Amino acid sequence: MRRPLLSPRDIDRERDVIIEEIRMYEDAPGQSVQDLFCQMLWPGHPLGALLSGTIDTVRRIYEESLA
């Protein structure tokens, strides 16, 4: 739990999966509206943040940041 065995290859693969999931939700109008509504209702609050993050934040995840 303290030092998971995450290879860079596994992290890259999972990053790609998460990005595809984000894109899938962006293609769903109902989900996109819900996300925008929450961001507008609770700006700057965790309730208004996207649970998955953004494609940009997911791309910046590397092995060192998970340790």
pLDDT digits (tens, 9 = 90+) for 15-38: 999 999 999 988 999 988 999 999
Give the 3-state secondary structure of 2-64. CCCCCCHHHHHHHHHHHHHHHHHHHCCHHHHHHHHHHHHHCCCCHHHCCCCCCHHHHHCCCHH
Task: Please name the amino acid found at residue 56.
Answer: D
Contact 57, 15 (CB under 8 A): no
Is the model more confident about 44 or about 4?
44
Comparing 5 with 59, the larger pLDDT belongs to 59
Largest CA distance in the chain: 39
pLDDT at 22 (0 to 100): 93
Is the pLDDT assigned to residue 63 strictly greater than 80? no
